[in-house]
Amino acid sequence: MKIKYIALAVSLLLSIGALAQHNEEVTIEGTYRPKVNKVNKIELKPETPQQSFEMPSSEIHIMDIEHRFPLELEKLSMQTYNGKNAQLPETAKNFLMVGFGTRISPAFLYKHNSNLTKTLGLNVGIKHYSSWLDIKDYAPSSFMNNAMEIGLTSSKYKNVQLEGDVYYKNDMVHYYGVNLLNHPLTDEQIDQCCPKQIYNTIGGHFGLVPTTTRTGEVSHQLGVDYHYTFDNTYAREHFVGAEYGLGYTQSWWGDKSHPQKIGVDLAFQYEYFESSHAVGYDIMGGRDDLLLLKVNPYFEMNDEFYKLHLGVRLDGANLVQLKDKYLVVRPDVSGSLYVLNKKLEFYAGLNGGKKLLTYSEIISENPFVGCDHLGLLAQNVKLGFDGGIRTNIGEVVDLHLGVRYRHTDNDPFFVHDKRVPDWQGFSNKYDVVYDETQLVSVLADMRVKLRGSLSTDLGFAYNNYEMTKEDCPWHRPKMEGKLKLTYDVNDNLAFNTTFLYQGERYAKDWHYGPYWKTKFPPQYEAVKLKDVYDLSLGADYRFSDQLSVFAKLDNVLNQKYQLYYDYPVSGIQFFAGLKMRF
């Protein structure tokens, strides 16, 4: 698409005007890790355009309650902004949400945040949601997600905070991906082709974070993570990650209120993945050892009208089974220029580097991946660029327009597993294929924040991929957008609606002719998936600061779009429940 058409599309979206406010929300997601943090005060009038105003995420998360987008249930949450009196109620120690629906039975979320002593805080989170047992869309399906976490936070030292937590997650999905009317199967064939997929993760985190930065002092930051992920097909993953940051702040020149900083960030990541299905037979599928080391020295300075970060990334990766080693050097440069009394920001930056693709991340996005031939690699961003403008107009409108470029090696895509059963020409498993891609994205995000009753949140992204080997960026949308409207009838009653859109997605569909059992490889075609048009309606009623009820009507248009090829979402759904703060 030519630039003028891109500009026209952005202009049309940004012409939709309304009033807006920003609310802290508790969002239930399939990848949810119930970490409980104290809610920060909402900044209604930021001094500078905030970088948090980015493109609203409309990425598909297969493990979500509705097998599609993250479920936004909250408007009235643990800490709620009241648009009329602009007051924040005190943070509650406990938050409880319980709900039922036509597809959900039940949903349960509990969060606790308290102080054991003056310097030691306790965080607890528990989550469960599951489906009814007899859902019949294309075929019977069910799912269940559980998670729990216990964490401690210590602020014994004046300028350092220690934090640590342990967590456990259990996810089950049983979604055949087969229309049994078109492909009648016996129970034995269903068990072979469409087994339940169960994933468990046990992990923990330890961190040391400085709470203040003082001129002339050295600062330290440390984080260590570990998780063990295993499933019911004997796949195992151990992941260890550690990050350490060392910085020194000093006023070498200029205003002492704007000192300079030099520092270095170090990172270590190790992943061990093994699947018993192919141990000793397939290097790409049986076992993967990946080691990644990162070194990032940098220099930072800022003033009233600018901010500058100058650094370089040195990433070294070792893929043991492939006997392959990499060492890459990438820029780490970014800066911002503020004008009009910090109401307008121009920003730009160059970046890149390597990232391990872990088994836990892949199955959180697509749990239908077959682990027996799964090869894990290190994703390499050869060059990345981000640029654009952010502005705050009259302390009312936050606007962001940006352009993003990524040249990526080992970019992962999901495609149907071409290995099919002898007795049937289909399979519900997916493989991960890698390709070198170049992506150009045009982003737009607008929020309007007034104390009126009507608010809006608008986001849009246009993505243009250039592939090296594959024909299409499988399952990734070319265009995506989000529009959310909220209407506050009074201090107690509020209505909201959200419209999500994703367009031009393609899937790889394999075809097997009469000689598909021979040595000749199967053929495929790029199948265009149905565009996503998803409309939801919701309502919240607050009886008091401690108790509220909510209701949500989802997929109002009853669209049977597909997350992945042969995996459709449910039709229209209703969900309701209550929330308590105490």
Tell me how far apart the alpha carbons of residues 215 and 280 are, in angstroms, rounded to a whole number. 56
Predicted confidence at residue 364, as pLDDT, reads 85
CA nearest to 73, candidates 43, 41, 32: 32
pLDDT of residue 493: 92
Structure tokens at 33: 């890790």
pLDDT at 420: 53
Distances (CA, A) of 478 to 5, 361, 410, 463, 464: 14, 22, 20, 5, 6
Strand locations in 116-259, DSSP E? 120-131, 135-136, 140-157, 160-175, 197-210, 218-231, 235-250
Superfamily grouping for domain 3-36+57-581: TonB-dependent receptor, beta-barrel domain (2.40.170.20)
Element containing residue 313 per DSSP (H, E) = strand 306-319
pLDDT for the residue numbered 5? 40
> Per-residue pLDDT for the chain (582 aa), expressed as one digit of tens each?
444 443 434 333 333 232 222 222 223 332 233 333 222 222 222 222 232 223 233 232 323 323 333 323 222 222 222 333 333 334 578 889 899 888 788 888 898 988 888 888 899 999 998 887 655 555 557 788 899 999 998 876 667 889 999 999 999 887 766 666 666 777 777 766 676 788 999 999 999 988 777 788 888 899 999 999 998 878 899 999 999 999 999 999 888 888 999 999 999 999 998 876 543 334 344 677 888 999 999 999 998 899 999 999 999 887 665 556 778 899 999 999 999 888 899 999 999 998 888 899 988 888 888 766 677 788 899 999 999 999 988 777 888 999 999 999 999 999 877 655 444 444 567 888 999 999 999 999 888 877 668 888 888 999 999 999 999 999 999 999 999 888 888 889 999 898 989 999 999 887 655 544 544 566 788 999 999 898 999 999 999 888 999 998 888 988 878 878 877 777 788 889 999 988
In this structure, how many other beta carbons lie within 10 angstroms of the beta carbon of residue 193?
20
**Domain definitions of the chain by residue range:** 3-36+57-581
Q: Nearest CA to 430 among 145, 140, 168, 173?
A: 173
Distance CA 352, CA 331 (A): 6
| Tally of CB atoms within 10 A around 555 | 22
What tokens were used for 340? Answer: 């009009």
pLDDT at residue 254, rounded to an integer: 85
List, in sequence order, every residue forming a beta bridge with 394; answer none if it has no partner: none
The structure's pTM equals: 0.79
pLDDT of residue 140: 57
Q: Count of CB atoms within 10 A of residue 227's CB?
A: 18
> What is the distance of C-alpha 110 from the center of its chain?
21
- Amino acid sitting at position 34: P
Pick from 569, 531, 573: nearest CA to 553: 573
Q: Is 282 exposed, middle or buried (0-12, 13-18, 19+ CB in 10 A)?
A: middle
Position 136 scores a pLDDT of: 55
Residue 356 has a pLDDT of 87
